[in-house]
Structure 1
Amino acid sequence: MEKPKINPYIPIIIGVISVSISAILVKLASAESGVIAFYRMFFSVLLMTPLFFMKYFRELKLMSKRDWIFSTIAGVFLSFHFILWFESLNYTSVASSTVLVTLQPIFAFAGTYLFFKEKITLKTFLSGLIAITGSVIISWGDFKVSGTALFGDVLALIACALVTAYLLFGQDVRKRLSLITYTYVVYGISSITLFFYVLIKGESFVGHPSIDWFWFLLLALIPNLLGHTLFNWSLKYVSTNTLSIAIIFEPVGAAILAYYIFNELITTIQLVGGIVVMIGILLFVMDEQFIKRVFFKKSS
Structure 2
Amino acid sequence: MEKPTIHPFIPIVIGVISIALSAILVKLAEAEAGVIAFYRMLFSVLLMSPIFFTKYVHEIKLLSRRDWIFSSIAGVFLAFHFILWFESLNYTSVASSTVLVTLQPLFAFVGTYFFFKEPLSVKTIISGLIAISGSILISWGDFKVSGTALYGDILALIACGLVTGYFLFGQDVRKRLSLITYTMVVYSISTICLFFYMIIGRESFGPYSTMTWVWFILLALIPNLLGHTLFNWALKWVSTNVISVAVLFEPIGAAILAYFVFEEYLKATQLLGGIIVILGIMLFIIDIKVVNKIFRRKNA
TM-score (norm 1): 0.82
Q: Which residues in structure 2 correspond to 1:175-214 (within 5 Å)?
A: 175-214=175-214
Task: Please name the residue that 2:295 is paired with.
Answer: none
8 A Cα contact 2:138 2:269, kept in partner: yes
Task: Please name the residue that 2:51 is paired with.
Answer: 51
Q: Distance in 2 between matches of 1:118 and 1:228?
A: 23
8 A Cα contact 1:139 1:150, kept in partner: no
| Residue 233 (structure 2) pairs with residue 249 (structure 1) | no
Which stretch shows the higher mean deviation, 142-151 or 160-169? 142-151
Q: Distance in 1 between matches of 2:245 and 2:136?
A: 22
| Residue 197 (structure 2) pairs with residue 218 (structure 1) | no
Structure 2: 5+ residue stretches without partners: 291-300
Task: Please name the residue that 1:68 is paired with.
Answer: 68
8 A Cα contact 2:88 2:155, kept in partner: yes
SS at match of 1:193: helix
Which stretch shows the higher mean deviation, 174-183 or 267-276? 267-276
Cα offset, 1:126, TM superposition: 1.4
Q: Which residues in structure 2 correspond to 1:1-300 (within 5 Å)?
A: 15-134=15-134, 137=137, 141-144=141-144, 147-229=147-229, 247-287=247-287
8 A Cα contact 1:15 1:227, kept in partner: yes
One-letter amino acid of the structure 2 residue matched with residue 69 of structure 1: I
Cα offset, 1:168, TM superposition: 0.8
One-letter amino acid of the structure 1 residue matched with residue 201 of structure 2: K
Q: Distance in 2 between matches of 1:11 and 1:73?
A: 25
8 A Cα contact 1:45 1:184, kept in partner: yes
SS at match of 1:103: coil
SS at match of 1:249: helix
Deviations 1:73-105 (A, max 9, x none): 000000011111111111222122222222223
Deviations 1:221-252 (A, max 9, x none): 11111334556778999999997776443222
Cα offset, 1:14, TM superposition: 5.2
One-letter amino acid of the structure 2 residue matched with residue 225 of structure 1: L
Deviations 1:31-77 (A, max 9, x none): 00111000000100001111101111011101111111111000000
Q: Distance in 2 between matches of 1:217 and 1:148?
A: 29
Cα offset, 1:30, TM superposition: 1.1
One-letter amino acid of the structure 1 residue matched with residue 287 of structure 2: D
Q: Distance in 2 between matches of 1:270 and 1:229?
A: 29
Q: Distance in 1 between matches of 2:73 and 2:239?
A: 28
8 A Cα contact 2:78 2:162, kept in partner: yes
Change (3 A) 1:131 1:200: same
Cα offset, 1:147, TM superposition: 3.1
Cα offset, 1:121, TM superposition: 2.6
Task: Please name the residue that 2:298 is paired with.
Answer: none
When the two chains are superposed, the root-mean-square deviation of aligned CA atoms in Å is 3.4
8 A Cα contact 1:21 1:254, kept in partner: yes
| Corresponding residue pairs, total | 288
8 A Cα contact 1:103 1:281, kept in partner: no
One-letter amino acid of the structure 2 residue matched with residue 287 of structure 1: D
Task: Please name the residue that 1:298 is paired with.
Answer: none
One-letter amino acid of the structure 2 residue matched with residue 157 of structure 1: L
Change (3 A) 1:65 1:145: closer
8 A Cα contact 1:142 1:150, kept in partner: no
Structure 1: 5+ residue stretches without partners: 291-300
Cα offset, 1:21, TM superposition: 1.2
8 A Cα contact 2:183 2:232, kept in partner: no
Percent identity, please.
71
Cα offset, 1:180, TM superposition: 0.4
Cα offset, 1:133, TM superposition: 3.7
Q: Distance in 1 between matches of 2:5 and 2:176?
A: 26
SS at match of 2:20: helix
Cα offset, 1:169, TM superposition: 0.9
8 A Cα contact 2:99 2:136, kept in partner: no
8 A Cα contact 2:128 2:280, kept in partner: yes
TM-score (norm 2): 0.82
8 A Cα contact 2:79 2:194, kept in partner: yes
